[in-house]
Amino acid sequence: MAVMVVQGNFDPWQEIQAYQNAADCLPGTVGATSVFVGTMRDFNAGNAVKGMTLEYYPGMTERQLEKIVAEARRQWRLLDSLVMHRVGDILPNDPIVLVAVWAAHRGDAFDASRYIMEALKSRAPFWKKERLDSGDECWVAENTKGYKSD
């Protein structure tokens, strides 16, 4: 049940492999793994973006991520989970966030991974400042919603 705030680029697929290999309790019990990876796009709201800086609130960010994971564990039957989030300077195509959830059954894995992502987007203290092609810098005002019905 790891939660990590990381400086510097990371490969989400390697991280999952490494985490899985180190998790002794998982083999044989896992039927479903649901993973979400958020990556930086080079376009946002019509502007070409060269890069961004991700600010966070050390201490509170980790605490909120852990709370979100705990909420997910209370609602669904999970075997393990891994949440990683990048901070600092980021380039297009870099992974920003990884949410991986291991469960016996797929309903729990799908529901929990999406819940964690939506909660993270609305409550984990991270802030994006984009560097545009024009040279301007601007703070992203608000995250878009993850459900059409929102």
Minimum CB distance to another protein, residue 72 (Å): 15
Chosen residue from 8, 59, 77, 105 binding a second copy by CB under 8 A: 105
Residues 6+ apart with CB under 8 A from 67: none
Q: Crossing angle of helices 60-75/106-123, nearest 10°?
A: 150
Minimum CB distance to another protein, residue 52 (Å): 10
| 72 lies in the site for another protein, by CB under 8 A | no
Chosen residue from 18, 25, 45, 60 binding another protein by CB under 8 A: 60
Options 1-9, 51-59, 67-75, 103-111: segment touching a second copy (CB under 8 A): 103-111
Chosen residue from 50, 114, 129, 131 binding another protein by CB under 8 A: 129
Distance CA 83, CA 73 (A): 13
Neighbour-count burial for 18-27, b at 16+ CB within 10 Å, e otherwise: ebbeebeeee
| 122 lies in the site for another protein, by CB under 8 A | yes
- The beta-strand segments (E) located in 22-77 are 32-39, 43-44, 47-56
Minimum CB distance to another protein, residue 61 (Å): 8
142 binding partner (options a second copy, another protein, none; Cβ < 5 to 8 Å by kind): another protein
Chosen residue from 68, 69, 90, 117 binding another protein by CB under 8 A: 117
Query: What distance, in Å, lies between the first and last C-alpha atoms of the chain?
Result: 29
